[in-house]
A and B are shown apart, each in its own frame.
Chain A
């Protein structure tokens, strides 16, 4: 998966949880929290993305990330 693919995946997962958002609202420099996702929403998005990518990453590794761009990069780097 490319980074673009992963970003698209995260956008779709975010929209499924916050249906009023559009893909254009979701850019790499924003955080999920900024977009209105609460802590459980964010955890759901992370786990769903992991499932789609067939990755297993301890949730603690996401704790220091500050925006969606960094999230995309982390998932990208974890792919074999």
Chain B
């Protein structure tokens, strides 16, 4: 079933509110433990899964099999960097270690780096404005480079000595999947032999948070804390903010044979399609087209898809749209298709969601289980086979991971088990 054209995932790494290592992530997923809690201080009024326990220096020290010069460069690159930068550098180093890249020879100019995320400076700019608006002469000169999303690219490139193509990609909440699509294109065109895809953490300022709240997009209207994010449940109210960063190491199979590194999973189809809509509402037709295209590209039949890691943001309209799209597209196979949403566990990580949820998909495939959604007490649909409130032990072969973003951006990734 696997084709030699499929791109191999050889390494994964992440930092999330529920896990700093892959083992921690597997455990959190299996029991459906959420990192979402009621927030206070500058975030009072909402809940979220934040990275407030993350200490970059300690986390870096705990990583084994990482060369000392990489750790040293990481500390220098991140010294006055935002949490977003630190999380991205950490997840990239973790994934490279997981892929044994530090031990394998790969010319640095043949490694690509794509950072998924936009407006990464939102909170940094907000804080600088608060502090320096009346005294701009004391604005740190590094603002001139750090306000750009590409500063994260530079920091990871310097830390890991990656000198192939590098870019940031934006796709709103679909940024993560968009970066995977872009990486696949670079790999298949043989512009690179290895490509790192790093989902960057969203550090929202009070402006973005209030914007989402005023739009009605954010949950936490009546429910807070662990109850607040409930994808596909009748009490869903909107998305719940999550902070996290994830990294995938992707390689072509022809290169891997020479290097004897086995794949964790394969990406055999991707899709990226727009709705022709500038607003925030999703489209059933757009999601159907998007999922179908990823499945078609991977050369399998719709009936072979046995699991969908949904976008599942806990938005009433979003959830309903996605369920209808799934029911329509997979009408011949609903009984054989499992459905869950990782956002209940890690929150909506916005720009990095696609990468982190692809990692969640791979972790579930590799460990033969599908994680529960503890808050799915009253599902909005009776025909779709939700994993539900207890985890399921099963061997999934072909999984679809969806991300749908504002401005009509749809993206799906088809992951095959190794």
Contact = CB atoms under 8 A, between A and B. Distances in A.
**Bound together:** yes
A65 interface: no
Interface residues of B, number: 14
Q: Contact residue range for chain A?
A: 10 to 19
Contact of B79 (A16, A43, A47, A50): A16
A71 to B, nearest CB: 16
A18 B140 contact: no
A40 B142 contact: yes
Contacts of B142: 40-41, 43-44
A56 interface: yes
Contacts of A44: 80, 140-142
A76 to B, nearest CB: 19
A19 B80 CA distance: 10
B138 A50 contact: yes
Contacts of B72: 20
A8 interface: no
B79 A18 contact: yes
A18 B76 contact: yes
A16 B75 contact: no
A20 B80 contact: no
A16 B138 contact: no
B140 A48 contact: yes
B22 to A, nearest CB: 27
Interface of A is mostly: helix
Interface string A36-60: 1000110110011011000010000
Contacts of A36: 76
B145 interface: yes
Interface string B129-150: 0000000011111101100000
B76 A19 contact: yes
Contacts of A43: 141-142
Nearest to A51: B138
Interface in B103-148: 137-142, 144-145
B141 A40 contact: yes
Interface string B52-77: 00000100000000000000100110
Contacts of A16: 79-80
Contacts of B144: 40
Contacts of A40: 141-142, 144-145
Interface centre among A36, A41, A50 (most CB of B within 10 A): A41
Contacts of B139: 47
B75 A20 contact: yes
A48 B141 CA distance: 9
Nearest to B146: A40
B79 A17 contact: yes
A54 to B, nearest CB: 9
B69 to A, nearest CB: 11
A36 to B, nearest CB: 8
B141 A17 contact: no
8 contacts: A16-B80, A19-B57, A20-B72, A43-B141, A44-B80, A44-B141, A44-B142, A47-B141
